[in-house]
Structure 1
Amino acid sequence: MMHPSLPVSLIALLSIFSDVLGAPQFGTSSARQSMSLTRRMQPSRNASESAEYAKNLRDATIAKYSAQRNQKRGTGENLMVNQGLDASFYGSLAVGTPPYSFDVILDTGSSDLWIASSMCQSTCAGTGNFDPAKSSTFKNLNKNFNVAYGSGEATGTLGQDVVHMAGFTITDQEFAVVTSTSLNFLVNPVTGIFGLAWQSLASSTAMPFWQALASSGQWTQPLMAFQLTRFLNDSQAGGLEPGGSLTMGYANESLYTGTIDFQDIPDGQASYWLQQITSMTVQGKSISLPTGSASYAAIDTGTTLVAGPPDSIAAIYAQIPGSQPGTGNWKGFYSYPCDTVVTVKISFGGPSWSITPDDFAFTSAGPTSDECYGAFYAIPTSTETPSWIIGDTFLKNVYSVFRYNPPSVGFAALSEVALAMNGKAGGIPSATLGANSAMFTVEPSAAPLTRSFSAVALVISAVLATLISFIHL
């Protein structure tokens, strides 16, 4: 859904943001691991390139949401990578026997898992693709798979194999092996999408990995949590930076302060991670919002900015002196004087959460312009999809928790430890796959898991992990 250099690659990174995964049965792990997120530096763009990028961000959001529809417990963490100056956040998983690692966008706005196949040569080359022939445990389900995104499509077939993520293993996870995508849909090193919404949204109809673990009681606590880093305002940021973490089965108390404010998903509608926006202020002034479902918002780690209904977006910018609606590729966006410090606060029925002015200022109108475009933009309303899409512009400002039972979303204030990670350059995190492979170092693109001792030890470890999984079935 969004990415690297300029429009084309950025668009590709954006596409990546929108899909998911599925999972049938499962093994277990008691490891407590972390998955780090990585991020990429924002390329310099001229005014027309920035406008094209903005247009594709908006189009991708519209297309994404108009198209969708007693075992041992444990905890795990997956360190993430921040790519494209907060454009997207990805983590790692491992597939097959022996296991190979892959980088995937972590997306709470969709529910399918798919990975590019080694057969996808023309449009997927260079991303370290999955070769089913190299896995002794892969099963071809002989079912077609197709998913459409705002900037492209992905097609292939469904299969089953062993999948490792954040210390957990599912021995027959269903996922799509993609053999064709739109041109430039994938950008190295990302190889696919890991959906973290509910099964009802899955194009494959398969149960997502996270939901299979939570529903079977494999997590110590029935929740997963995100901390995302900020590099958008760092002119020295590199192409990929540490992105924060995704934890499964627990919330990392070192990354937040106070209590987590949970609000149930409205009416038990477990599809998107829905929340109702109950209040919003801009520059200290309240914005009038409709009640009920007209103010439902999808909390989406796979969307870069914040999208909302035209009337509400217009009301937001009406509180910012000098703001003007965009035209052409900037349709739906608004500009405002760059020297204006914009403060926005949102409540979902509990405390109000602030968005920093740095996150609200999406981009300047041009290298020499004193006008900036805001990160809130308008999209058409629909009875089939949420009115609001709350993406990383908001989520970088809170510790976000997604709870399986009762179905709910929680937010907490970030700790000093978490805030200190913003703008702190570092190496790209190594893949962190969990208890059974906690001491393994994974090479970046589809490389087999390696360790300081012999490959024989690795194979034995993988076999034991599989046997343990079967014992717990």
Structure 2
Amino acid sequence: MELAFHSYYGSLAIGSPPALFDVAIDTGSSDLWVVGPWCGKVCDGLDTFDPLSSTTFHNLSLPFSVACFLGSASGYVAEDVVEMAGFSVRGQAFAVIDEISQDFLISPTSGRLGLGWRSDAASNHTPFAQNLVSSGALDSPLFSIQLARYSNISNAEKLEPGGVLTLGYIDTDLYTGPIEYIDVSGGSLRWELPLESISMQGSSLQLSASSVAIIDTGIPYIVGPASVVRSIYGQIPGSSLAGGDFEGFYQYPCSTRVNMSFSFGGSMWSVNPADFYFGQVNSSVCIGALIDGSDSSTWILGDAFLKSVYSVFRYDPPSVGFASLSEAALADNGAGDPVPTPTMASDPTEVTVVDAATLGLGLSPFFAATAVIASVVWLL
């Protein structure tokens, strides 16, 4: 029995002198947080941030807490220098975590980098990427993501190359054809799009007119309303709710090639059948990556969807763009390459420094920032 839990992460540094941390890349949240030295046995073996080790640390003495599908964490809000991929933000707000639920973090990650908007920040402070945009540090007000998959999960190492995150520009080598942008829904400042329709095994399913999808690199699943998820699995003969160790998931015959697509802005985007597979009960019964758990009209499209597209998250105008992956991007999937090394720039001439929550700074030279992502897999 196995489930393919995983997390995509990148490296950043906090403090003076800088301390390096691996953090999950999460477009579904808006806060940067890392575990502190008092988070207990749950954090054994993880790199923890020690406020006493940084000369630029400032405790804001504000309580902080987050909760999601994967777990919960609490601590306090502080400010310090945060650096990633050639950009450094002075006075960046982040949270130091004192308490965290079991299994919220997958080693070696020590926290999460929320790439959402300030309107969703539990800290009520501007996120790292949005500070870069507001200050004018980025060549373009956007970031883009390509997530790799494994060609054979059973042969995956604990750490594998996971794809590419770029800050401020679009990597034209990683996609083909046009990038199709969809404005965020109803003017909401989050990476949430109007969802037009869903197709499963060639059949279209009815959705409410208010249906939206949150584009979320922070979870491995696709999450939908219980009634619609039940109808979707009804299109797969032999599928049913799983039990035992797989309670909360659906199971389906491994011999079935699952064809699932989502429609945004008039275009259909398909989930690769390899990504719909989330594990297996035995040699003939597989577990699906589609689960129920959201409200009546909200979907969450996590890594199971995003591994099939090149994604661009644009701040101005607020929108998300999808494009088909290039042959070069597809060739990286499961290629067995070594895990990339951290990409925090160490040469001061390659670091663009900005102040948190300041506007209109003319910063040069522009440093084309690429943060390679590594992926962590648990096989249970």
**Interval of TM-score (by shorter of Structure 1 and Structure 2):** 0.7 to 0.9
Aligned-residue sequence identity (percent) comes to 47
Q: Is the 8 A contact 1:88 1:304 kept in 2?
A: yes
Matched, 1:412 2:323: yes
Aligned to 1:276: 194
User: Per-residue deviation at 1:121?
Assistant: 4.0
In the alignment, structure 2 segments of 5+ residues that lack a partner are: 356-360, 364-380
1:426 to 331, 334, 337: 337
1:343 pairs with one of 237, 241, 259? 259
Matched with 1:108 is 27
- Other structure's SS at 1:422 match: coil
Aligned letter for 1:236?
N
In 1, the alpha carbon distance for the partners of 2:197 and 2:101 equals: 40
* 8 A Cα contact 1:86 1:230, kept in partner: no
- Aligned residue in 2 for 1:297: 213
The answer for the alignment partner of 1:287 in structure 2 is: 205
Partner of residue 387, structure 1: 298
Q: 1:322 aligns with which of 234, 238, 241?
A: 238
Question: Shift of the alpha carbon at 1:124?
Answer: 1.6
Q: Which amino acid aligns with 1:276?
A: P
1:354 to 270, 275, 279: 270
Letter in 2 for 1:314: R
CA positional deviation for 1:111: 0.8
Residue 91 (structure 2) aligned to one of 162, 172, 178 = 172
* Partners of 2:87 and 2:351 within 8 A in 1: no
Q: Secondary structure at the match of 1:260?
A: strand
CA distance in structure 2 between the aligned counterparts of 1:465 and 1:334, rounded to whole angstroms? 47
SS at 2:119's partner residue? helix
Change (3 A) 1:304 1:187: closer
Deviation at 1:149, TM superposition (A): 3.8
Q: Which amino acid aligns with 2:141?
A: P
Cα displacement (A) at 1:169: 1.0
Q: CA deviation at 1:312?
A: 1.7
Which residue among 88, 95, 120 is the counterpart of 1:201?
120
**Closer, same or farther: CA 329–289 of 1 in aligned 2, 3 Å:** farther
Q: Check whether the contact 1:86–1:392 (CA below 8 A) recurs between aligned residues.
A: no
- Per the TM alignment, residue 389 of structure 1 is displaced from its structure 2 partner at its CA by 0.7
Structure 1 residue 472: deviation in Å? Answer: 6.2
Kindly indicate whether the alpha-carbon contact (under 8 Å) linking 1:92 and 1:433 is maintained by their aligned counterparts in 2: yes
Q: Secondary structure at the match of 2:38?
A: coil
| Letter aligned with residue 258 of structure 1 | G
State how far apart, in whole Å, the 1-side matches of 2:243 and 2:39 are: 38
> Which has the larger share of strand?
2
Q: Which moved more, 1:390-399 or 1:165-174?
A: 165-174
CA distance in 2 between counterparts of 1:235 and 1:150 reads: 25
1:153 to 50, 63, 72: 72
Match for residue 372 of structure 1?
A: 286
Instruction: For 1:159 and 1:472, locate their aligned partners in 2 and report how far apart those are by CA, in whole Å.
Output: 26
Pairs aligned (count)? 358
Q: Give the Cα–Cα distance (whole angstroms) in 2 for the partners of residues 228 and 359 of structure 1.
A: 12
Task: Report the secondary structure of 1:218's partner residue.
Answer: coil
Tell me whether 1:162 sits opposite 2:81 in the alignment.
yes
Q: How many Å apart are 1:136 and its aligned residue?
A: 1.3
Structure 2 distance, partners of 1:380, 1:219, is: 34
Give the C-alpha shift of residue 232 in structure 1. 6.4
> Structure 1 segments of 4 or more deviating over 6 A?
470-473
Deviations 1:254-299 (A, max 9, x none): 000011000000111113x1112212222222222222x2x10101
**Alignment RMSD:** 2.3
Q: 1:86·1:232 contact (CA, 8 Å) conserved in 2?
A: no
Corresponding position of 1:239: 158
Q: Distance in 2 between matches of 1:150 and 1:317?
A: 21
Match of 1:117 among 29, 36, 39: 36
What's the offset of the Cα at 1:143? 1.9
Do 1:332 and 1:379's aligned partners in 2 also have CA atoms closer than 8 Å?
no
Paired amino acid for 2:270: S
- Which residue of structure 2 lines up, in the alignment, with residue 260 of structure 1? 179
3-state SS of paired residue (2:229):
helix
Alignment CA distance shift 1:257-1:373 (3 Å): same
**Per-residue displacement from partner, 1:151-201 (whole Å, max 9, x unpaired)?**
543222221111001211101101111122234543431111111111111
Once the two structures are TM-superposed, the CA of residue 332 in structure 1 deviates from its matched residue by 4.8
Structure with a larger share of its residues in helix: 1
